Amino acid sequence: MKRIVINTKDATKFINKEGQRITKDVVQSIIDQSRALSVKMQDDMSTAIDKGPVTFTKRAVLFYYSKTNNGVKNTIMIKDIQAKYLYEIIVKPESIDKIVPTSAARLDRFGNIAGLKRNLSNGRYKVVKQGTKERLIDTNAKKKTKRVIGLREEKRRKMVYDFYRNGEKGAMLIIKDIKGTFTIKKG
């Protein structure tokens, strides 16, 4: 686009118009790239989960933006209900007291003991304390070696996906070539 500027009034008008267009393009580009980052983070988190995520976890990442008078505010976050559920595997791992299945236990597709709650309530599974150890016993097992299906112990869930580190890294990639003032907040 070749444009000849005759006077300062035309030059000012041209610069203001082009500046507004460039700002609008940059803001839209940041929104599009941030949305793509949120989709990538969801996909990476889903891929990192062993045996695949449940549907509840597949829809955990939320992206929204709001335009301000001098820019745009993009937010990538984990939805509230999912955040409580996923906190230990994407932010900070904590120890949990849990029944860990043995090789004799029948597992569901997520690695949990199949029918645990139902079988505890109807009496098929019993928790037996022996000293400091607790064992989960299947009372209907045919062989003695197959009776112990779980041991209670403290277990630390490993961190599957570092949400903040990956989000910050992605945000830095988005804004690395753009000159201006940026604020990145965790929280």
Number of structural domains, the chain? 2
- Nearest Cα to Cα of residue 26 among 68, 64, 71, 67: 71
- Nearest Cα to Cα of residue 33 among 72, 68, 78: 72
Q: Are residues 85 and 16 in the same domain?
A: yes
| Count of CB atoms situated within 10 Å of the CB of 78 | 21
Q: Residue 12 is which amino acid?
A: T
What's the whole-model pTM score?
A: 0.65
> Which tens digit of pLDDT belongs to each residue from 96-138?
777 888 888 888 887 888 888 898 899 888 888 888 888 888 8
Distance separating alpha carbons of residues 38 and 31, to the nearest angstrom: 11
Q: Are residues 22 and 50 in the same domain?
A: yes
The residues of the chain scoring below 50 in pLDDT are none
| Count of CB atoms situated within 10 Å of the CB of 124 | 14
Q: Are residues 36 and 112 in the same domain?
A: no
Q: Are residues 147 and 116 in the same domain?
A: yes
Structure tokens at 30: 């940041």
Q: Are residues 105 and 71 in the same domain?
A: no
Q: Are residues 85 and 100 in the same domain?
A: no
What does the pLDDT read at residue 3?
Answer: 63
Structure tokens at 180: 């201006």
Range of the domain at 46: 8-92+159-175
